[in-house]
Amino acid sequence: MTSEVASIVAAVIAGAVALASGFFFGRRQVRDQAAVEHGQWLRGQRQDAYVALLDAWDTAVKEFQEEIDRGEYFDQIAAHEEALRGPDFWEDHMESVATHVDRISEGVQRRLERVLLLGPEPVDKACINLDEALKALGSSVRSKSGTSDWPNYDMYWEMSMNARKARSALLDAARGSMREAPRPGR
């Protein structure tokens, strides 16, 4: 083999290696860029979902509190209504409280589900705890409805404290997930 042929072969090999490595590194750069852009999109979706959930949660807790606050005047109203309507009043009261609790809880459920879809795992766990706290808070509002002992203040205050802890845990988990910047290769 002459030196001219060897030079041509070396040049062809070098060109092929350069082309292959350019293709490989170009693909990797595009893949990494796509991963970062997806991470940024997901981060924005998470942020919107977390804020919407916290807003819905705060509204629900406020409405539960308003429902409990109605109990301050309940004794006077209940005595008058029971005299007028008889035992139907208590049944209607129980249904009314249940309807309000269900309506309030529904306002949070879709937002909870959206956060659960977006993750990550620590936020999912905090979200599940928040859902349980919401159900317990609703049960405490319903507790003793349809009786003259409504509202059950002791149970409500205990569940209200648990609900605050669950909200705080969700906020911590969400804060942790939002502080991680998207990186390629993850």
Residue 5 in any domain: the answer is no
Let me know if residue 82 belongs to a domain: yes
- The CATH number assigned to the domain holding 172 equals 1.20.120
Q: Tell me the mean pLDDT in the region 96-104.
A: 91
Number of C-beta neighbours around residue 88 at 10 A = 11
Say if 160 falls within a structural domain.
Answer: yes
Q: Per-residue pLDDT tens for 103-157?
A: 999 999 999 999 999 989 999 999 999 999 999 999 999 988 777 777 889 999 9
pTM: 0.77
Please give the C-alpha separations between residue 20 and each of 13, 16, 91, 140, 182, in angstroms, as whole numbers. 10, 6, 78, 67, 28
- The per-residue pLDDT for 180 is 75
Domain assignment present for 139: yes
Parent domain of 165: 47-178
- The predicted model gives 166-181 an average pLDDT of 89
Number of domains present in the structure of the chain: 1
Is 31 inside a domain boundary?
A: no
Longest dimension (CA), the chain: 117
Tokens standing for residue 170: 């969700």
State the DSSP code for 151: S
